[in-house]
A = this chain, B = another copy of it.
Amino acid sequence: MTIYFACSISGGRGDQAVYQQIIELLKRHGTVLTEHFGDATLTSEGEALDDCAIHDRDLEWLRRSDVLVAEVTTPSLGVGYEIGRAVEWGKRVICLYRPSPGRRLSGMIVGCAGVVVREYSDVAQLPALLQEALATS
C-alpha cells in the first residue's frame, strides 16, 4: 500500500512528535511517501525548495498514493487543500483528529461523504485505530 501522510507544516508544528509516531505506525502498513513531514528539523518555515516545486511534487505523490492519511488536529490550509484534491480524485481519505475543549473539526471535513474521520485522545490508541481504518475505510 502506498500512503500519503499529510500534516500541518506552515500551520504550526506543535504536533510534530505525534506526526512522527503516526508515520512509524503507517510504515507497518506500506510505503509512506511523505516520511520527511514528521522530521523535527522541518519547521513551519517549510522546506528550502521553490513553492511550485513542492506543490507539484506533493501532488504527484498524492496522485500515486492508494490512501491519504491526514492528521487534522492543527488547522492547515495545505492539508485541507490536499483533502479536497484527493476527494475529487476518488482517493481513500482517513483523517485523524484529537478533540480538545473549545475546538471543533471543520464541518467541511466532517460533512464530506468521501472522508473517514477517526478521533483519538492518545497516540497509544493509534495502532489499533489505523489497523481498523486502513482495513475497512
At the interface, yes or no: A50 with Cβ under 8 Å from chain B? yes
Q: What sequence of 0s and 1s flags, for each residue 29-58 of chain A, a beta carbon within 8 Å of any chain B beta carbon?
A: 000000000000000111100111111101
Complex copy number for this chain: 2
Chain B residues closer than 8 Å to A8, beta-carbon distance:
75
Chain B residues closer than 8 Å to A82, beta-carbon distance:
80, 84, 108
B75 touches A76 (CB 8 A): yes
At the interface, yes or no: A116 with Cβ under 8 Å from chain B? no
A106 touches B52 (CB 8 A): no
Nearest chain B CB to A118 CB, angstrom units:
15
Q: Which residues of A contact B (CB under 8 A)?
A: 8-12, 44-47, 50-56, 58, 72, 74-85, 87-88, 103-113
